[in-house]
Amino acid sequence: MRQKVIFQDLGLTDYFDIWQYQTEIHQKLKEEKKIINNPNPSHTLIFCEHHAVFTLGRSGSQENLIVSPEYLAENNIQFYKINRGGDITYHGPGQIVGYPIFDLDLFFNDVHKYVRLLEESVIQTLEHYNITGYREPGYTGVWINRGNEKRKICAIGVHLSRWISLHGFAFNINTNLDHFNFIIPCGIKDEGKSVTSLEKELGAKQNMDEVKHILVNKMSSIFEFDML
């Protein structure tokens, strides 16, 4: 049976506020698990942008943040250690951050499949713009291969508790890529790898609403859910 998902585009938001909001929805889905044959689970897909912030996953190293706390404060950039997988990444305006809070017991019980389908949603969105995205062996996220340089356009870091998902993905659209110079993105030190955005690949700023529309419909098709 196709699940129904509440879709919310919350625009430019504070990272901590959304982190708390995700937790509230996550707890609600946990409570709903106690209801036998619950017809309306509160699966929620949030799209938003964040004010400039670096987040460090539970398996990451703070050494991959290469500026001081004083620099962050002076430049109004936040920093949080959080409970998702992965290392350090950047969120900021011009980036689609997606938080699927799904009870995967009602979709499928396979965390690797879950991450692969998130990647596939972005890969198919890139196809709309005639860009070939791919999965780089040994890494999560979506990459673009241009010449001898492999560029990451979407980072993914998730957390599951009782098969309910938290956190998600960050898809660079019109993102200020200079901020990635302050970190070792995702802890990847390979000189042949860098970070990119849709704007950089296409040579012009993109319509965020258009990309969101394409992406959410790709997700609906790939995960086989209906949007509310």
Catalytic-residue membership of 48:
no
Cα distances (Å, whole numbers) of residue 202 to 6, 196, 222? 31, 11, 25
Regarding beta strands 149-161 and 142-146, do their DSSP bridges make them parallel or antiparallel, or are they unpaired? antiparallel
Contact 30, 41 (CB under 8 A): no
For 87, the 3-state DSSP assignment is coil
For 101, the 3-state DSSP assignment is strand
CA distance 129 to 127: 5
Determine the angle formed by the axes of helices 111-128 and 208-223, rounding to 10 degrees: 140
Contact 208, 174 (CB under 8 A): yes
CA distance 154 to 199: 13
Regarding beta strands 44-50 and 3-13, do their DSSP bridges make them parallel or antiparallel, or are they unpaired? parallel
For 6, the 3-state DSSP assignment is strand
Q: Exactly one of 104, 156, 173, 186 is catalytic; which is it?
A: 186
Cα distances (Å, whole numbers) of residue 175 to 64, 157, 158, 161? 20, 18, 21, 30
**Residues designated catalytic:** 186
